[in-house]
Amino acid sequence: MIQIAVCDDNQDDLARMVSLLDRFKTIRNYHFENFLFTSGLELLSALEKGKRFDVYCLDILMPGYSGMDVAREIRTFDKTAPIVFFTSSAEYALEGYSVKAVNYILKPVSEEKLIAAFDELLEQLGEKAEETAIVVKSNEGLQKIVITSLVYAEVIGRNVLYHLRSGKVVACTEPFAAACEKILPFGCFVKTHRSYIVNMQYIDTVDNHQVTLQTLSTVPIAQGKAREVKQQYLAYQMEEE
């Protein structure tokens, strides 16, 4: 299920956004979950604790941490999550390009504006998911895993465990070599250890012994492999700039 963060310091505007999103879900028969924040600081606090969202809807003009401040922070760890700005001022539209905002909607937000924006956004997300997903045979049956939601994979005994951004763990009985063949060609993954593959999108820090992820999990680095892992991560970051 897609998780959407909605951040606005104006309670009336926040309630309006929730009402419009609920209306969109009813009209399009689409399922997603809203998470509401009344300040940029509140949303940043959730992000610092490892919470991640698929879509961010931000008001720009908020006291303390503005929507643009929050968007810049989001882009330090997530280069691709759609960011939609909702604001009463058009003067920041150009600045929105610096954080790769997918849309910029002036308040008051109408049902027509929101439906058009989310139709386009969810279509793009759907196309992207089709292009960057793998299918695995889990213990519960066949399951699609979107690559951008896969934080890391590990092998324990005869099971390969796929750890997703949502916190869900998909368990599969398959050789780890087969998992590596599916995942590594995407280019955003690094094999830190014979039993671990990590999505570099979620790396927070790398030291000589382990990788710390933005979800607060840690993954070991095999002895003598730290330099290689650091070089791969640096190359990945340079490509993303």
Range of the domain at 161: 133-240
Q: Are residues 161 and 86 part of one domain?
A: no
| Amino acid 223: pLDDT | 94
| Amino acid 79: pLDDT | 79
Average pLDDT, the chain: 87
Cα–Cα distance for residue pair 174/134, rounded to 1 Å:
14
Cα–Cα distance for residue pair 80/187, rounded to 1 Å:
15
Mean pLDDT score, 4-32: 90
Mean pLDDT score, 145-150: 86
**Residue the block writes with tokens 């929050």:** 70
Q: Is the pLDDT of residue 72 over 70?
A: yes
Mean pLDDT score, 232-236: 92
| Residue 63: CATH number of its domain | 3.40.50.2300
Q: Is the pLDDT of residue 80 over 90?
A: no
Mean pLDDT score, 17-32: 86
| Amino acid 96: pLDDT | 53
Cα–Cα distance for residue pair 171/173, rounded to 1 Å:
7
Q: Are residues 49 and 38 part of one domain?
A: yes
SS (H, E, C) 173-187: ECCHHHHHHHHHHHC
| Residue 216: CATH number of its domain | 2.40.50.1020
> pLDDT grade, residue 98 (50/70/90)?
low
Mean pLDDT score, 28-51: 89
Q: What is the pLDDT of residues 175-214, one digit of tens each?
A: 999 999 999 988 899 999 999 999 998 999 999 999 999 8
Q: Are residues 124 and 158 part of one domain?
A: no
Nearest to 227 by CA among 207, 213, 212, 241: 207
The long-range contacts involving 171-176, CB below 8 angstroms and separated by at least 24 positions, are 171/138, 171/139, 172/136, 172/137, 172/138, 172/139, 173/137, 173/139, 174/136, 174/137
Q: Which region among 73-82, 159-168, 189-198 has the lowest average model confidence (pLDDT)?
A: 73-82
Rg over alpha carbons for the chain, rounded to the nearest Å, is 19
* The 150-156 sheet, strands edge to edge: 141-146, 133-138, 169-173, 159-164, 150-156, 196-199, 189-193
Q: Are residues 125 and 18 part of one domain?
A: yes
Count how many residues are written for the chain.
241
Instruction: Report the domain count for the chain.
Output: 2
Mean pLDDT score, 51-56: 89
> Does pTM surpass 0.75?
no
Nearest to 21 by CA among 113, 102, 114: 114
